[in-house]
């Protein structure tokens, strides 16, 4: 829900003569929005918890000598099937826009696929989960420290700063470069919350006092990062073109400490609340809609923009930060919320008519090629947008879905 409302908040439709002609991003027009990303960048928390709940199953498979590749193929298949439906819908929208002169798709073209980066990262990180489990068994928290050391070394190389006295300008020098060795941190940084999640599951750290210490570490880490010149924002690109995400930097680790600290601080009251049957049922219900909501919430922006034009709402009223600006933001979010309900209802109707469980392919070739096809489909859609990316991505994800399922 944080991600969904955060995406809607950040999408700024721009109007001319009452019609949407473009979209901006909140981070591009309002500098203080970067601080909001310290709370809105919840991907590390997702990876942390995902690893914790998956660790025992993976460890059992390792102990019994079962194929970890087949386990990963199952994860990939669970992502491929709903992604096929989403990309098919985007392809249909793009085709209709092409033949009818529809203009709304243009302003939202990239916005409709930008969130697919998370699925690319998740499927790659989960492919390495067995290695993370084995690393925890052998090295314990040493595996966590090793990943931090790798991330730090990469940033030091990027900055050309090999001496501690150069720390005050480290962040600025890191983000002044990109590409090459920097992309090693696309693995090291995103593997870190996975490694922490496994260690937490194994009881290597626990308790509210430990949580408080980790939370304070995060506060200090983020403060030190900003002082050294890293961008404040933990999502996207700042006004100077610098980013903590593309590729990931050491500063992003500070957000992980905040979130892991909060997990430990709130674990006991959260477990007490989840012992309440009604609340647990509500969480389970929302959890079942987690992936559909994540995939489809961006599509709700199209009908929201159309309806907003018809009723004469001014999505871009006021200057960023002014009361009028926030009122227009609430109007936009309200429209998106209204439009996402029928979208999810249609998705639920489609998904309920599919086979609930599909056996996973056992062939190493099918899993590897299928997983690669899924990454290609997601990556193409992410880079090229709804048109033409969705059509190309759809072909690749259909291939992936077919290869990843057992045909016999």
Residue 167 DSSP class: G
Radius of gyration, alpha carbons of the chain: 22
CA distance 371 to 391: 18
- Which pLDDT score is estimated for 335? 93
CA distance 327 to 187: 40
- Which pLDDT score is estimated for 100? 67
Tell me what percent of the residues of the chain surpass a pLDDT of 90. 49
Taking the CA of residue 345 as centre, how many other CA atoms within 13 Å lie in the half-sphere pointing to its CB?
6
Start-to-end C-alpha separation, the chain: 39
CA distance 335 to 339: 6
Are 159 and 207 in contact, with CB atoms under 8 Å apart? no
Tell me what percent of the residues of the chain surpass a pLDDT of 70. 96
Q: Which residues contact 348 (CB under 8 A, 6 or more apart)?
A: 289, 292
Please confirm whether the linkage preceding 386 is cis (ω < 30° from 0): no
Are 70 and 360 in contact, with CB atoms under 8 Å apart? yes
CA distance 171 to 166: 10
- Which pLDDT score is estimated for 105? 84
pLDDT under 50: residue ranges of the chain:
none
Task: Enumerate the H helices of 113-207 as residue ranges.
Answer: 117-127, 129-139, 142-159, 170-174, 185-201
- Which pLDDT score is estimated for 268? 93
User: What's the burial of 16, exposed, middle or buried (CB within 10 Å: 0-12/13-18/19+)?
Assistant: exposed
pLDDT tens, position by position, 50-109: 999 998 888 887 777 667 788 888 889 989 988 999 999 999 988 888 776 677 788 888
Residue 102 DSSP class: -
Tell which residue, 385, 316, 259, has the closest CA to residue 21. 316
CA distance 14 to 102: 17
């Amino acid at each position: 829900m944080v991600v969904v409302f955060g995406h809607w908040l950040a999408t700024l439709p721009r109007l001319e003569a009452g019609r949407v002609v473009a979209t901006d991003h909140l981070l591009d027009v309002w500098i203080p929005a970067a601080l909001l990303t310290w709370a809105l960048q919840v991907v590390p928390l997702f990876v942390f918890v995902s690893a914790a709940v998956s660790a025992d199953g993976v460890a059992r498979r390792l102990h019994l000598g079962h194929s970890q590749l087949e386990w990963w193929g199952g994860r990939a298949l669970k992502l491929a099937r709903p992604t096929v439906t989403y990309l098919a819908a985007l392809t249909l929208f793009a085709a209709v826009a092409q033949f009818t002169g529809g203009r709304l798709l243009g302003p939202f073209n990239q916005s409709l696929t930008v969130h697919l980066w998370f699925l690319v990262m998740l499927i790659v990180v989960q492919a390495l989960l067995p290695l993370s489990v084995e690393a925890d068994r052998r090295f314990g928290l040493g595996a966590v420290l090793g990943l931090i050391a790798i991330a730090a070394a990469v940033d030091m190389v990027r900055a050309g700063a090999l001496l501690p006295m150069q720390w005050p300008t480290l962040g600025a020098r890191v983000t002044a470069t990109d590409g090459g060795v920097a992309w090693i941190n696309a693995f090291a940084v995103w593997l870190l919350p996975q490694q922490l999640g496994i260690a937490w599951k194994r009881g290597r750290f626990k308790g509210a006092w430990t949580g408080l210490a980790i939370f304070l570490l995060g506060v200090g880490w983020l403060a030190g990062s900003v002082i050294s010149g890293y961008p404040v924002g933990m999502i996207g690109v700042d006004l100077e073109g610098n980013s903590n995400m593309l590729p990931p930097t050491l500063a992003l680790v500070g957000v992980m400490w905040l979130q892991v600290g909060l997990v430990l601080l709130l674990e006991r009251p959260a477990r007490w609340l989840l012992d309440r049957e009604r609340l647990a049922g509500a969480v389970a219900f929302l959890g079942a809609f987690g992936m559909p909501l994540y995939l489809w919430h961006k599509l709700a922006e199209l009908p929201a923009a159309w309806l907003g034009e018809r009723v004469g709402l001014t999505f871009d009223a006021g200057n960023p930060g002014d009361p009028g600006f926030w009122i227009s933001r609430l109007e936009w979010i309200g429209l998106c919320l209204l439009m996402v309900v029928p979208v999810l209802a249609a998705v639920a109707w489609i998904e309920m008519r599919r086979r609930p469980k599909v056996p996973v392919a056992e062939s190493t070739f099918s899993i590897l090629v299928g997983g690669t096809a899924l990454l290609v489909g997601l990556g193409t859609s992410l880079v090229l947008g709804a048109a033409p990316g969705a059509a190309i991505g759809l072909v690749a994800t259909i291939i992936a879905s077919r290869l990843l399922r057992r045909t016999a």
